[in-house]
Structure 1
Amino acid sequence: MASPTTFHGWLGHSATSAKGNLTWEPFTPKPFADTDVDVKISHCGICGTDIHILRSGFGPTHYPICVGHEVVGHIVRIGSAVSPAFRLGERVGVGAQALSCLRKDCEECGSGMEPYCPNLFVGTYAGKYPDSRWSDGGYADYIRVSARFVVRIPEALKSWDAAPMMCAGITVFSPLKKNGAGPGKKVGIVGVGGLGHFGVLFAKAMGCEKVIAISRRWDKREDAKAMGADAYIATSEDERWEDRHSRSLDLIVSTVSSPDMPLAGYLKLLRTNGQFIQVGAPEDKLPGVSAHALIAKGCKIGGSQIGGPKEIEEMLRFAAEKDVKPWVQQRPMKQANQSVVDMENGKARYRYVLVNDDHEDHFKV
């Protein structure tokens, strides 16, 4: 079992690649370090961030680029300094971060908050390493990454279910856990999509007293209820929703990536000392709010990144224990272009996962 010197993947060469213009071609990964592992990819989820980056939505993207940061596969090469020891053939996952500074004097890296490292954040793709090389992601046959950002996957989880947890799952699990979601708490999830459906699933599995799914229209109400939502709000079609549900929630996690949101209305839903946490990343600014909306109830607006490797492993164990199953549609890796277009057009219900059929057949997982 070994990895090749040249990897192959779906590369974007311009902002038009987000419209289904990726090309399958060889690329050279960064030089192998003694702290790295190579992973033969069996599954890779499609994340909304992939599309933002492909079209230069967050600023100019460095092309060519191979996106994808919801990776599951098997280790085929291990660096000599990797500790704790991984095994060849072991099934692992890679999320949205490939490296941080990892310095002993870094408060964030030393406390499991690597995504907040103030010194270095290298994304799994579109990230710049200290040697100025750019990182490449998981719409590919292999990925090379620091072993510190590789996590083991519990046997009870299917690879196609674990893949979208590596970004979408941890993006909502982390703020729910850190902000007290659990028995006795009433939680709202804004957006019923790839991230939001995880929010409903995890909030319910955490034992929250009430879980409310919030979307623009009624079209996802039955899906949300099937995921475990106790109630549903359609902000574009439900008259006076902010008044009828006023002061009903302890915590709101917003997963939407559009700045066109009724933020003032969401804040009305919060109880005294309630919290609104934004995890979706719009390409433009969030709408302004009145200071009185915060002061009058002592509520807070915050944000949340992904999670560090230890937190991702905690989430995976929780998902295995509670039998959390995302709504996944598997697509062959060769259909990456159509899948990206369908994702952008809102057709996913609720996460696309690309499958390297030849790799999956080989490992039978």
Structure 2
Amino acid sequence: MPEVNAYAIDSPTGRYEKTTITRREPGPTEVYFEIAYAGICHSDIHTARGEWGETLYPLVAGHEIAGVVTEVGSEVTQFKAGDRVGVGCFVDSCRECEMCKAGDEHFCTGRPGTVGTYNSIGRDGEPTAGGYSQGITVEQDYLMRVPDEISLEHAAPLMCAGITTYSPLKHWGAGPGKRVAVVGLGGLGHVGVQFAAAMGAEVTVLGRTLAKRDDGMKLGASDYVSTQDADAMKGLRASFDIILCTISDGVEPDTLLALLKPYGVVINLGLPESGSASVNLGRLINGNKALAGANIGGIRETQEMLDFCADNAIRPIVEIIGADQINEAYDNVVGSKVRYRYVIDTATMG
């Protein structure tokens, strides 16, 4: 079985250290690929630091993964050695339930349920380990093909940040004639702005300050407003068809609901540590507004998103780091000091 270098953390207050992990030889329908790049998602940090419930330590995080196939099982038909591929937030599901058959494997209701790329238990009974490593074995049905137009370092963050913003914008009809607000220009928001603009919507960014205004405009926004500017926010009331909120705190749902047109929707992507927020139901009822959530997408839609990025020149803005910088990178993400996605070069794992 392949033994690969990896970086793992062993407690909520621990630090990532170099280690080795064993990957299984690919079974008949499995693919083994060498990981080239792995993005750092805020979900990795929440999990590593024990902020979202039980964590299976030692943890090898990472669910924004891109690399090149080196070995395939005897019954694999979709991929071959040399193919450029990616893995997102999950690596298995039951494949038989209503959700799986509809292409929504991330909402699997059967057994074993949706198996996370890390911090989950796979069909082999072993904890799953993610992309902070140099190789991984995955069932072919849970891989995406990376279009030739997209470099692997840019493909990696799209496996989570990309699909997390693309899916709700598509579902709620972002397009010509629609006004979309994106709250927060961070790892998710800076990709969401590009998607909404490419879909044909008029895009406004709502940020705490105007520090990232130039970036927002270059990415496709037509306006950028500080949420701390009371007069500017008041002027935006009843303005938007869709509000995509990519932050977990800082703007109350009631404030965003006031910015919607009748029949508009606030889509929340950020999850507060407490998991709860209060909402004035009158704000929903007055105008037939909706408050929705969104949580990644299925394999088919993720591939669709990658192809859309290739066709529309959408790329995350990344900062390549070495594996020995993961701990520092985590602190920078929490402190909003990254523009806009850290991506680990796994070659630095030695």
Compute the TM-score of the two structures, normalised by the length of structure 2: 0.95
Q: What is the distance in 1 between the residues matched to 2:229 and 2:9?
A: 41
Q: What is the distance in 2 between the residues matched to 1:33 and 1:257?
A: 40
Q: Deviations over 1:219-246 (max 9, x none)?
A: 22222112111112211x2014442101
1:243 to 205, 210, 234: 234
Map of 1:362 onto structure 2:
none
Greater shift in the superposed pair: 148-157 or 213-222: 213-222
* C-alpha distance 41-322 of structure 1, shift in aligned 2 (>3 A): same
**Offset, 1:31:** 6.4
Q: Percent identity?
A: 38
* C-alpha distance 241-263 of structure 1, shift in aligned 2 (>3 A): farther
**Offset, 1:39:** 1.3
User: Does residue 201 of structure 2 align to residue 218 of structure 1?
Assistant: no
| Count of residue pairs brought into register by the alignment | 348
**SS, match of residue 318 in structure 1:** helix
2:136 to 143, 154, 162: 143
**Offset, 1:131:** 4.3
Q: Deviations over 1:35-59 (max 9, x none)?
A: 2211101111110001000001101
Map of 1:279 onto structure 2:
269
1:233 to 217, 225, 228: 225
User: Does residue 7 of structure 2 align to residue 7 of structure 1?
Assistant: no
Q: What is the distance in 1 between the residues matched to 2:236 and 2:77?
A: 51
Q: Deviations over 1:49-89 (max 9, x none)?
A: 010000011012110010001100011121223233x1112
Q: What is the distance in 1 between the residues matched to 2:164 and 2:207?
A: 18
1:256 to 239, 244, 247: 247
Q: Please list, as runs of the form range in 1=range in 2, the aligned pairs for 1:293-304 lying within 5 A after superposition.
A: 293-304=283-294
2:335 to 338, 342, 345: 345
Greater shift in the superposed pair: 52-61 or 23-32: 23-32
**Offset, 1:358:** 7.0
Q: Please list, as runs of the form range in 1=range in 2, the aligned pairs for 1:185-224 lying within 5 A after superposition.
A: 185-208=178-201, 210-224=202-216
**SS, match of residue 86 in structure 2:** strand
Q: What is the distance in 1 between the residues matched to 2:160 and 2:193?
A: 16
**SS, match of residue 13 in structure 2:** helix
Q: What is the distance in 2 between the residues matched to 1:63 and 1:270?
A: 43
Map of 1:70 onto structure 2:
64
**Offset, 1:26:** 0.9
Map of 1:108 onto structure 2:
99
Greater shift in the superposed pair: 273-282 or 327-336: 327-336
CA contact (8 A) 1:6 1:29 kept: yes
Structure 1 unaligned spans of 5+: 360-365
1:314 to 286, 300, 304: 304
Q: Deviations over 1:146-202 (max 9, x none)?
A: 211111111011111111101001100000011100111100111110001111011
CA contact (8 A) 1:127 1:134 kept: yes
Q: What is the distance in 1 between the residues matched to 2:205 and 2:150?
A: 25
CA contact (8 A) 2:23 2:135 kept: no
Structure 2 unaligned spans of 5+: none
Q: Structure 1 counterpart of 2:328, which letter?
A: Q
User: Does residue 349 of structure 2 align to residue 355 of structure 1?
Assistant: no
Q: Deviations over 1:271-330 (max 9, x none)?
A: 110011111222213421111100011011111111111111111111111111221111
Q: Structure 2 counterpart of 1:305, which letter?
A: N
Q: What is the distance in 1 between the residues matched to 2:81 and 2:247?
A: 39
CA contact (8 A) 1:75 1:92 kept: yes
Compute the TM-score of the two structures, normalised by the length of structure 1: 0.91
2:44 to 32, 46, 50: 50
1:159 to 147, 152, 158: 152
CA contact (8 A) 2:225 2:233 kept: no
Q: What is the distance in 2 between the residues matched to 1:289 and 1:101?
A: 35
User: Does residue 88 of structure 2 align to residue 91 of structure 1?
Assistant: no
